[in-house]
Amino acid sequence: MAICLEKGLVAWLTGLPGSGKTTIATLAAERLRGMGYRVEIIDGDWARSTISRGEGFSREERRRHLIRIAWISRLLARNGVIVICSFVSPYRDVRAEIRNIVEEETPFIEVYVKASLSTVIKRDPKGLYKKAMEGQIKNMTGIDDPYEPPENPDVVIDTESESPESSSKTLVDEILKKLGQGK
C-alpha cells in the first residue's frame, strides 16, 4: 500500500568518496519503498552523466552542479517524494546554500557519512584515489582538494564502525522521525 505524503523531504548524504554514501542511500531507499513510500535517489555518478554532463570539478563547477541538484530535490520533495541525495559536496558554504534552497519548502536532513581518509583510500572502489595520487586526476577531494566535514550535521553515520545495514536503518529512522512518521 502506497503512503502519500503531502511533502517529502531531502536527506543529503555528504562524505569523502568511498565513505559509503551510495550504499547507504540504496539500502535506505529499498527499506522506505518496502514501507510504501515514494523515494528517489539522486547520486553523484548518475547526475554527472545526465543532468550535469560536462561539469568539471573546480569549486565553482561543483557548486553549480550541487545547486542544480538542490533545486531538483526540492521540486521532488515538495511533491511528496523522499529524496536521498548522495554527493561528496565537499564545501560547507555550498551545503549551507543547498539547505537554504530546500528548507524554503521542505524538510532537510544533512547526513555526514564519516570515514577517515586512510579508510576510503583502502576501500577506493573506483580506483580514484590511486589515480589522484599518481597525478592522473586533479581536484580529488581529500587529496588535492579539501573536504570540509559538517560542523553540525543532523545525523552522523560512521561507516568505519557501523555496517551498511545498520547505517541505512539509522538513516531511515531519522527520515521517519523528521516526517513525523517514526518514533
The CATH number of whichever domain residue 67 belongs to comes to: 3.40.50.300
Checking if the pLDDT of 154 tops 90, the result is: yes
Rounded Cα distance between 15 and 44, Å, is 12
Which residues 6+ apart lie within 8 Å of 7 measured at CB?
A: 77, 78, 80, 105, 106, 107
Give me the number of domains the chain comprises.
1
In a domain, 181, yes or no: no
Inside any domain, residue 75 = yes
The residue assigned the cell 513525523 is 180
What 8-state DSSP symbol labels residue 141?
B
The residue among 126 and 155 whose pLDDT is bigger is 155
Half-sphere exposure of 64 (CA within 13 A, CB side): 12
Residue 151 Ramachandran class (φ > 0 left, ψ -120 to 50 alpha, else beta): alpha
Domain hosting residue 27, numbered range = 9-176
Q: Which residues pair with 13 in a beta bridge?
A: 86, 111
Least confident of 2-6, 49-53, 157-161, 169-173: 2-6
**Is residue 2 included in any domain, yes or no?**
no
Which comes out higher in pLDDT, residue 122 or 11? 11
Catalytic residues: 89
Would you say residue 14 lies in a domain? yes
Give Cα 172 distance to the centre of its chain.
Answer: 14
E strand intervals along 95-177: 108-114, 155-158
Domain-embedded: residue 115: yes
Specify if 16 maps to a domain: yes
Q: Is residue 183 part of a domain?
A: no
Give percent of the chain with pLDDT exceeding 90: 72
Cα end-to-end span (Å), the chain: 21
pLDDT at 3: 85
Taking the whole predicted model, whether its pTM rises above 0.85 is answered as yes
Return the exposure string of 138-156: e unless at least 16 CB atoms fall within 10 Å of the residue's CB, then b: eebbbbebebeebeebbbe
How confident is residue 101, by pLDDT bands cut at 50, 70 and 90? very high
Give residue 55's pLDDT: 86
In a domain, 182, yes or no: no
pLDDT score for 182: 63
Q: How high is the pLDDT of residue 183?
A: 54
Q: For residue 144, what pLDDT band results from cuts at 50, 70 and 90?
A: confident
Segment 79-105 mean pLDDT: 97
Dihedral angle, C-alpha 130, 153, 72, 33, nearest 10 °: 90
The model's confidence at residue 135, banded by pLDDT at 50, 70 and 90, is: confident
Strand order in the sheet with 155-158: 39-43, 82-86, 9-14, 108-114, 155-158
